[in-house]
Amino acid sequence: MESVNPFTGKVATHFKEMTRDQVESAIDFSHRAHCDWRRRAFAERAEPMRKAAGLLRERAPEYANLMAVEMGKPIGDGIAEARKCAVGCDFYAENAERFLAAQPVDLEGREARVVFAPVGVVLAVMPWNFPFWQVIRFAAPALMAGNAAVLKHAANVPGCALALERLFRDAGFPEHLFRTLLIGSDMVGEVIERPHIRAVSLTGSAAAGRAVAAKAGHCLKKTVLELGGSDAYVVLADADIAFTAAQCARARLVNAGQSCIAAKRFIVIASVLAEFEKQLVVEMSKARMGDPLDENTTMGPMARHDLRDALHLQVRKSIDMGARCLTGGTIPAGEGAFYPPTVLSGVRKGMPAYDEEMFGPVAAVIGARDQNEAFRLANDSAFGLGGAVFTRDLMRGERIARDEIEAGLVFVNAPVESNPKLPFGGIKESGYGRELSSFGIQEFVNIKTVVVAPHAAARSPVAALSE
């Protein structure tokens, strides 16, 4: 198992894959660690979680360097990612007990409560694009709920995967409570089958989601799936176009466009279409591509050359089908898996830029006659993860976000982003279940009903049998 530096093309890290016996042993040890951890008070669980937050802040430059070398994230973005992880750890250390507090139920004389108990060992299958944040936003709530966690990370970020295991160990969590499994995707099904694995969280493609859901469903194990997205940003006629174009470019270029919630389709009312396209080209062209270890770089290479080449094929097919390329659209010379900020105009249904997720710095601009057509186009997608609406009328924007856009997250006049305080997830082929907030920590718990009847009110065995 190895990662290749997408800037230099050289092997960055190399590790030997675990054997089946090693995987089995790791899961067994995680289960044993859980059996003790589940009985600890929330205050005891919170102490190492807060220490993990402190280590994330302290080690942010180290982790950012690792992300830059393994998947091409600019060093400044990597530091920001590590710090965001620290916020997530602090959030669950502070709020887990409140989120999982027992809920009393009035049963007219009998005591009844709904309690939240940990389920056991949870498997996480995670992607490379946010190699620390994707894991922390799963692990922090799972561990604070009393579960154990085993991580199958993407094959091109093994160094990040092992750094996360070391982070939790150094923070004082019990040995084996969080383990990294250095395995390929072909072993995921076998891991799901293991009796001690009680649930699965996956962030990845729709194809990966179908495969994991099918296996987990066969084993009757719960899943949370955060899959792809083709987020639509609707630009209404009254939008501030200069501001909107700047926000849309920022949303499209985040992580070199390699984000499930990056803006991907821009649906613009015809009366402002030309002005928006002009401004978007200006804003997209401001990106500074270069060495991700250079602090002046704002956009690094894509994570792998094969991903870059697949994106370019989508662009070329869309152009061959009638889309116009306003900027970018060519693979630059030299080393590195770079792809330039690209704007495609005149995108229509049937083109890859319309129908497929474009996982890179490519903006697809789609014109709409009026707002009703804009809503139809926004929802004309297999995905439903995020979306945004740009308008000067905030009440109108809120109504549209609430009632018209089919997605799990919709922002008004701002790019979609994840936040520990907000539930995160999608609908349709973007998956199901939620991460983050109180909803995220309640995904992997046993919602248990406990009823206690007073002795005097208890029924006799004969009465009970007669019913």
Active site residues: 226, 260
Determine contact, residues 403/381, Cβ cutoff 8 Å. no
| Beta-ladder partners of 413 | none
The H or E element that residue 269 is part of is: strand 263-269
Q: CA 258 to CA 399: how far, in whole Å? A: 29
Using the Cα atoms of residue 187, residue 190, residue 195 and residue 197 in order, give the sign of their dihedral. Answer: positive
Determine contact, residues 337/308, Cβ cutoff 8 Å. yes
Determine contact, residues 420/137, Cβ cutoff 8 Å. yes
Render 27-76 in DSSP notation, one character per residue: HHHHHHHHHHHTTS-HHHHHHHHHHHHHHHHHTHHHHHHHHHHHH---HH
Q: CA 196 to CA 147: how far, in whole Å? A: 11
Using the Cα atoms of residue 438, residue 442, residue 447 and residue 452 in order, give the sign of their dihedral. Answer: negative
| Strand bridging mode 409-412 / 427-428 | unpaired
Determine contact, residues 327/343, Cβ cutoff 8 Å. yes
Characterise 220 by phi-psi region: left (phi > 0), alpha (psi -120 to 50), beta (else): left
Assigned token pair, 147 = 């579960």
Residue 279, SS3? Answer: helix
The H or E element that residue 222 is part of is: strand 222-226
Q: CA 448 to CA 115: how far, in whole Å? A: 5
| Strand bridging mode 148-152 / 121-125 | parallel
- Tell me how crowded residue 120 is: count the other CB atoms within 10 A of its CB: 20
- Tell me how crowded residue 28 is: count the other CB atoms within 10 A of its CB: 15
Q: CA 167 to CA 45: how far, in whole Å? A: 15
In single-letter form, the type of residue at position 50 comes to R
Residue 426, SS3? Answer: coil
Structure-token match 């942010």, residue found? 60
